[in-house]
Amino acid sequence: MAADPRMILLLSYYRDAELRGANLLFRLMSHLDDPESQVKLSLHLADETRHAWLWTKRISDLGGAPAKLADGYQSRIGLRVVPRNLIDILALTVVVEERSHQRYTEHAARPNVEPETLEILREVTKDEKWHIAWITGKLEELAAAEGSVARMDEALARYREIDRQVYGDLLAKERAAFGDSVPEAVAV
């Protein structure tokens, strides 16, 4: 049975987001040099690359090959924002992780999700919860230490609005491919 090209493309978007997230975390390692952050970043980075592998393997198991994407979620975000400081980088990371968690949770709740895909969605969703928690904690710690809580709140609000727009565009593209089986965008 031939792979559904729409599903291969969708899973390729997931894979792309995980790979680009890993790249961001790798770069973040040079900015957060305290030992606790280095340990957490290393585990987070390992999770992101493992997630990319899980999506790659799932695509392959479906009989497809990962699509090379120029317009993935993180690429679209990157066209709209360039974080200027550590507070911005962490705030953007929180927003992106929140979107991943929401995205995977929403997909897992759809009817007729293949069991193998559902297993991956549940596994990565569990990891996303921890990613959100530790990055949020670090963001709040740094913002408080710098007296930048208002700047943190502004950055989170700005990035959530950009996320809402970018995700809405991607979801419209997905709805065009899959029809009404894809729910409307949900704000995080």
Q: What percent of the chain has pLDDT over 90?
A: 80
Give dist(CA 70, CA 18) in Å, integer: 14
Mean pLDDT of 9-14: 94
Residue 128 and residue 97 in contact, taking contact as beta carbons nearer than 8 Å:
yes
pLDDT tens digits, 101-150: 999 999 999 988 999 999 999 999 999 999 999 999 999 999 999 999 99
> For the whole prediction, is pTM greater than 0.85?
yes
Domains and CATH numbers, the chain: 5-181 (1.20.1260.10)
pLDDT tens digits, 43-93: 999 999 999 999 999 999 999 999 999 889 999 999 999 899 999 999 999
Query: What pLDDT was estimated at residue 180?
Result: 59
Residue 153 has pLDDT above 90, yes or no: yes
Mean pLDDT of 153-182: 88
Residue 159 and residue 92 in contact, taking contact as beta carbons nearer than 8 Å:
yes
Query: What pLDDT was estimated at residue 188?
Result: 42
Binning pLDDT at 50, 70 and 90, where does residue 187 land? Answer: very low
Give dist(CA 18, CA 104) in Å, integer: 12
